Structure 1
């Protein structure tokens, strides 16, 4: 078998990125992936554990097809698949998120619980003892001083953003934040919480563009 050019392998700081041609037959991709792992790139892909990210371009894939890609990569015992990403799926998720965005104004006081299937934008404050629980993102254009749970059905890509982040507790998917005194910066800048490798992190929303190409907080909604 001669070497094909449907797959490009690039080294990055975090490991390797596999760029898969989104125009060829899926079976051709699998054949070439097998070939590169066992023949042309065998020496490169040997050694210690390597984190792998797979980029599918605009190709739409089923979960079964993703599992087949993972299965081939895992035949090399040192390749640890971190993500399989498709631009088509990201666009679909972004559109879905916009359609499900709920906007509400007012104050959520102690004892009140607001739940929503999708993302929520609160034009107001969340007081201590109050709670917001959403399957999508949570944006608070005010003080977030209560409990906020984003990605409540397991969406680890969800975020929680607020003009003033002073929560009693944050949750994203199944991950619960550390006690606020351990990570609060005391900075008055607008911040957001997100998951990175399963650990909750907090950063200024000026850095949100690194995760989101079209973050809602930049649109003046």
Structure 2
């Protein structure tokens, strides 16, 4: 069943050594998925009560809102704890940051140890990431000696600076400077990038004129050659 799932089947629940494994169909609309899952949980509430569930999204596009919806349903319908989310192997770094925000361990397909896919721990002596749990408004300036995570938007007139990567779980409309100590391999991640200015190390980019379509999931800015390129996913 892991290799193949019928299009009409919203999900499969299997036993796992750490609880239950909820394997989600990638083609089923979220309302249909939630309705079918609620029915299953209510029919077998005594069986699932107070258990742990691992959500397998290797067949489905990652969407934080969907994960929150599934998590809420599991808790409300049967007191089930969402203990882990399993994803495909692509774009692993972004998903690790997403796992930190969701408060759920994220594991990636193909890794030997699932623990290696949890939010990354800094090496001994390294500065931990700075996490800002609010929108950065105009006039705000935030600096981090390591990575910087913003749980909100970065509004025009705000400036965020980090020695490492910058991750914005919202829209980036202000000024962002990653790799501020000269690291050109640093990246800027955001759900939507519409900045006043981007900087990575010594490379500077200004936004193009006109509005661009919003990405399906997120965008990443990184240095290619001597230019900063923004790729949408």
TM-score normalised by L of structure 1: 0.46
Larger radius of gyration: 1
**What TM-score results when the alignment is normalised by the length of structure 2?**
0.44
